[in-house]
Structure 1
Amino acid sequence: MDVTLLADGLGFTEGPILLPDNRIAVVSMSRGSVLVLDRDGTVAVEYQVGGGPNGLALGPDGALYVAQNGGIWAARASAEPGIQVIRNGEVSYLAAGMDAPNDLAFGPDGRLWVTDSREEVDFAHPESALPGRVWAVDVDSGVAELMLEGPVFVNGIAFDGVRLFLTETVSGRVTAYDLTPEPRATAAPVCTIVDGHPDGLAIDDTGRLWVATTSGDRIDVIGSGGVLEETHLLDTGSMPTNICCGPAGSGEFYVTAAGAGSVLRLTGKAPAPIPRRTPPCSPGV
């Protein structure tokens, strides 16, 4: 795929989403803000939310929902952890009572599902870390239900309409869950990233998972059976944190590259070569 720079100088970028007018919105953790980018990469709007905005989701009402980690990572100031809402240019809180919300996505049930990484984790000693959590929030009432607890540093989240997909950054696992009252009991390993750490992910129109492999400076594309179908290498030190699909039929994807303070546009559907001796993921492990 062709990789082009959409915008830079944005700080620690995360959480890209496609807006209805085909513009892109991202968060900047280091600036404590949400940025709306025009198609040419110009910053059209910047909303100050404080703390460490970590993820974004677009609501059915057109509001922007922000996973506010409280300033635990890459932020200049602290804020109350929770879910913020930007509606008509005004910032408010929808839900609190979480430790460090990381990413979020609307589920088939209409609720806003949120990964809560909870704390900074020592990758060398994950056994001492708090178990990660996944919440489902009713956006009308703000009531949050704990749906899953256990995976350490649960991070990226996406739905394919039937299942929930989560990344676990420390272990490298990508796991699928059925949408039941107790999803953890249905955990089905998709693959384990063995050469890098998975962060955010997106699902394309064929059901493939596009995983931002942060420490590997690449995007891994996982197909049926957890098989690696493509890998797209980015510049060394780019540190891709998340990815979203572009407009329907465009063949575009947008990647937040936090290490470079930028947003990248990936265009085209031709697989890139995989110049490595060992595959960067193991199916079903």
Structure 2
Amino acid sequence: MDIELVCEGLEFPEGPVALADGSVILTEIKGERITRVRADGSKEVLAKVPGGPNGAAIGPDGAIWITNNGGSFVWLDNQGLTIPGPTPPTHTGGSIQRLDLGAGELTTVYDACDGKRLVGPNDLVFDRQGGFWFTDHGCSTPDGRKFGAVYYARTNGSQISRQRDHLISPNGIGLSPDERTVYVADTQLGRLWAFDVAEPGVLAPGPGFAPGRVVCNLPDYQLLDSLAVEAGGKVCVATIINGGITAFDPDGSVEHHAFPDILCTNICFGGADMQDAWVTASSTGKLYKARWPRPGLKLNFNA
């Protein structure tokens, strides 16, 4: 696979969104900002977003919706690589935010569910109805981890529901092409979960004692981050330690595409044929572009 370096000098890039004009909007978690990277590699800061802007997606209103982890990492330098460390004691929780691109206005839409503070919102995806699924990654504490969860919410601020709780470290989230399945990558477990959708915004009960169906557990020590889904149904998950993108077939088989960073965090698809793939290489602060072997799934909303 031919890989092109599009941009460097980013401060832990994540949440890429390929726009119709060929540019990519992404978050810089350490830099606490939303940035547009043009096709020629030039950068434009769209907004400062205090805390930890993590995932991003275009909503039905044309705004950028952001999962903000609230600054849940201490940033470490390890041999020149930027590595997310433990959660600082100043962390109080994260939120779901909306950035109006025209007005440049950033608003917080949700920071709690049923009176329980969101811990570290991580990634999100919009369904055809205009609502969105999102993961809360949880966070570390001196005594272990706060659990993560999977939520569903409406953009008008009227509804948020916790659909799965007590997950170890849910990270990337995506929908199958028919939207009958929500896929969630668990970072620490190296596991891709599949949750059946009973109706829009509601997950069906898991099988037996399990919260969902296990698509695959990666062998050895590999960690999973954010994801995008292909038009044919494969789930492409950014992979840490074994740096690159792991494509999971719903039958559990996998293929790995290496990228030059041990901490690849996300992938998005775009271009006329949806076979242009952009990958955030976060520990080195770079954005790469490649021609993917298959087309990605077109998202429900774009700009």
Residues 260 and 178 from structure 1, CA distance in 2 versus in 1: closer, same or farther, beyond 3 angstroms? same
- Separation of aligned partners in 2, 1:111 and 1:8: 33
Counterpart residue type for residue 245 of structure 1: F
1:156 aligns with 2:172: yes
Residues 137 and 227 from structure 1, CA distance in 2 versus in 1: closer, same or farther, beyond 3 angstroms? same
1:4-83 map, 5 Å: 4-73=4-73, 81-83=94-96
- Separation of aligned partners in 1, 2:125 and 2:159: 16
Aligned residues: 264
1:233 aligns with 2:270: no
Match of 1:221 in 2: 247
After TM superposition, give the deviation of residue 164 of structure 1 in Å.
0.2
After TM superposition, give the deviation of residue 131 of structure 1 in Å.
2.5
- Separation of aligned partners in 2, 1:39 and 1:2: 17
CA contact (8 A) 2:181 2:197 kept: yes
1:166 aligns with 2:184: yes
After TM superposition, give the deviation of residue 38 of structure 1 in Å.
1.0
- Separation of aligned partners in 2, 1:67 and 1:7: 23
Deviations 1:112-146 (A, max 9, x none): 21101121279xx9xx4332111111101243111
Match of 1:101 in 2: 121
Match of 1:262 in 2: 286
Deviations 1:234-265 (A, max 9, x none): 22x44101111122415211111111101111
Residues 79 and 150 from structure 1, CA distance in 2 versus in 1: closer, same or farther, beyond 3 angstroms? closer
Residues 62 and 72 from structure 1, CA distance in 2 versus in 1: closer, same or farther, beyond 3 angstroms? same
- Separation of aligned partners in 2, 1:30 and 1:119: 16
% identical aligned pairs? 29
The CA RMSD over aligned residues, in Å, is 2.2
Consecutive unaligned residues in structure 1, runs of 5 or more: 271-285
Deviations 1:260-279 (A, max 9, x none): 10111111428xxxxxxxxx
Match of 1:131 in 2: 147
1:91 aligns with 2:106: yes
CA contact (8 A) 2:19 2:270 kept: no
Counterpart residue type for residue 252 of structure 1: D
Deviations 1:5-56 (A, max 9, x none): 1111011111111223332111001110011111122113431011111110
- Separation of aligned partners in 1, 2:205 and 2:215: 14
* TM-score under structure 2 length normalisation: 0.81
Deviations 1:149-203 (A, max 9, x none): 1220111100012210001111111011111234452511111122411111111
* 41-50 or 153-162: bigger deviation: 41-50
Match of 1:276 in 2: none
Residues 269 and 130 from structure 1, CA distance in 2 versus in 1: closer, same or farther, beyond 3 angstroms? same
Three-state SS of the structure 1 residue aligned to 2:72 is: coil
Three-state SS of the structure 1 residue aligned to 2:140 is: coil
Counterpart residue type for residue 174 of structure 1: L
User: Which structure 1 residue ranges, 4+ long, deviate > 4 Å from structure 2?
Assistant: 74-80
Residues 129 and 254 from structure 1, CA distance in 2 versus in 1: closer, same or farther, beyond 3 angstroms? same
* 54-63 or 181-190: bigger deviation: 181-190
Counterpart residue type for residue 196 of structure 2: D
Consecutive unaligned residues in structure 2, runs of 5 or more: 76-87, 113-117, 295-303
CA contact (8 A) 1:101 1:115 kept: yes
